[in-house]
Amino acid sequence: MKKPAVFLDRDGVITVERGYAISSIDELEIYSYAEECVEKIKALGYLTIIVTNQSAVAKGLYTEEELKKMNQAVLKQTGVDALYYCPHHPQGIVPGYSKVCSCRKPGTGMIDKACSEYDIDLSRSFMVGDRACDILLGQNAGIKTVLLNSGYGVKGLEEECNPDIIMGDLRDFTGYLEKCS
């Protein structure tokens, strides 16, 4: 039987948004409430899947191996079911990563991959993020969208978008899911 998923952006949703200031696992700060929220979302019957653009790899700010270490820490400390990332950027400087791809949000490549690896019911799923590219990804995938103000949020939108819901942080969204269940 298909399960709904909550797709989560990493920076600004699960971890503190620091732009390109994060260059190692030591600088990665996971929100103190992230693990508890993930547990509650999973208890409500949702898969929890992080989908994150990490163009710092393409821009030469850190290696993909360093990114993988950061992602492993996020997986371990939050208990999410899966984490997908896009290391590409069209204006990157690192060969092999400087390109246009379908996985870079708002492209649906990461959600498509998750759907091929998990039996996901997109009609009951959500995309939760703090930027326009997160909302546009959700819309491109045909799922409900939630904009959180815990990262860039409404004040930092890089382009106009219309999320289905706007909330403070992941705790607010988790409470919303609990009330709807």
The catalytic residue positions are 9, 11
Q: With the C-alpha atoms ordered 86, 92, 95, 98, is the resulting torsion angle positive or negative?
A: positive
Cis peptide, bond prior to residue 95, ω within 30 of zero: no
Number of Cβ within 10 Å of residue 77's Cβ equals 15
Dihedral-angle region of residue 99 (phi above 0 means left; psi in -120 to 50 means alpha; beta otherwise): beta
User: Which amino acid, residue 117?
Assistant: E
Angle made by CA atoms 100, 104, 105, in degrees to the nearest 5: 135
